[in-house]
Amino acid sequence: MKKIITIAAAIAMATNIACAQDTFGESNQTSNKIIKHLDLGVTLGTDGIGLDLSTPVVENWVNVRAGFTYMPRFNATMHFGFEAGDESMTPAERDEQFDRLSGMLHDMIGTTVDKEVDMVGTPKFQNFKFLVDVTPFRNKNWHVTGGFYWGPSRIAYAENAIYDATSLVSTSFYNNLYDRVVTSYHNLFSDFETPYMSMGGQDLYADQEIYDKFKSYGRMKVQLGEYKDTGEPCYVEPDENNMMIAKVKVNSFRPYLGFGYGGRLLKNDDRYQISFDAGVMFWGGTPQVLVTATQYAGFDDGMGMVEVRPGVFEERQVRQAKEIYVKREVNLAKDVRNIGGKVGDYVDVLKSFKVYPVISLRISRRLW
């Protein structure tokens, strides 16, 4: 809204300047030998709303435009579902495990984990642009245009809805507890024995029953299809800030090529012009849709070789045994297949845009 107000103020200021210059006469308009005239334009199109200034470089042949475009904010909501258990279970069994796990968390910490969580996506598309219009045709209303757009590489952003924050905090709490239970069990009766929880000053250690119960639940996560190279499930979990975030990125420098048609807006008045443009913005191929995925990297048994006496080595536990999970950035548009639900629909749409179509309307007024 602030940018829209700023644009409106700039238009009003420019109009006042132009009117004042009209009042003082046309002598000042022709005195400038470098810039024959300068136009202020307002644009509206698929690249957003914007302002630009234009001037002829070669009269009736080459015109240059420079300005800024901004895509107004709007939200698009998509849903994804948490699950428990492992891939060996049927969907019905995983749903049953999730319900049991959700009930257990409610008993422990008094909060309920919603199975469905919303992600809210917002465009962040803003660009500086520099365009050159060439009119090589006999009909000077037609022009071809080349140039570039330049802006932040992140053009869209999605994060979990605020009202789902409690579910994500509960999920992070459970996954941390899961790790502690597994670690506690595998280090029982060792020098690295560690409790999974302390209550009332008493340390609690995971026995076989607790371990088996948590292993049957598995970690709580969201599955977003499978990795193309391995076929393994792609899982996403809340990050260290208990958030789930996705980013859409393209090249910062985006060449443009197009054509257009323009002319007077008002009959017998060259001060006001209107034009239509159509072209493509080359933003570097398929956009990247980036999320931070969690991947199981194996079990570290903590064993290593220890020199028990000079020249004699034995294998002993030298560090805490635990399951290893790594987080890495994954491009859903390139690395993952079979993404279901609304998330998959949006990824498919983005994958279809190797270039970005630009269709815009421009109305301008001559400043001098």
* Cα-only R_g, the chain: 31
pLDDT of amino acid 34: 60
Residues 222, 238 contacting (CB under 8 angstroms): no
Query: For the chain, first and last CA: distance in Å?
Result: 30
pLDDT of amino acid 317: 80
Q: Which helix (H) or strand (E) holds 95?
A: helix 91-109
pLDDT of amino acid 132: 97
pLDDT of amino acid 24: 39
> What does the alpha-carbon distance between residue 196 and residue 180 come to, in Å, rounded to a whole number?
5
pLDDT by residue, tens only, the chain of 368 residues: 444 444 444 444 444 434 444 443 444 444 445 667 899 999 999 999 999 999 999 888 999 999 999 999 888 888 888 888 877 788 888 888 888 888 888 888 888 788 888 899 999 999 999 999 999 998 889 999 999 999 999 999 999 999 889 899 999 999 999 999 999 999 988 889 999 998 888 999 999 999 999 998 999 999 899 999 989 999 999 998 999 999 999 999 999 999 999 999 998 888 999 999 999 999 999 999 999 999 998 999 888 878 777 888 888 888 889 999 999 999 999 999 999 888 889 899 999 999 999 999 999 999 98
**pTM (whole model) above 0.85:** no
Residues 321, 301 contacting (CB under 8 angstroms): yes
Inter-CA distances, 104 with 163, 188, 228, 354, Å: 21, 24, 35, 47
Identify which of 358, 350, 3, 339 has the alpha carbon closest to the alpha carbon of residue 156: 350
pLDDT of amino acid 8: 42
Residues 53, 65 contacting (CB under 8 angstroms): yes
Identify which of 182, 184, 209 has the alpha carbon closest to the alpha carbon of residue 194: 184
Phi, psi for residue 8 in degrees, rounded to 5: -60, -40
DSSP-derived 3-state class of residue 14 = helix
Phi, psi for residue 175 in degrees, rounded to 5: -60, -35
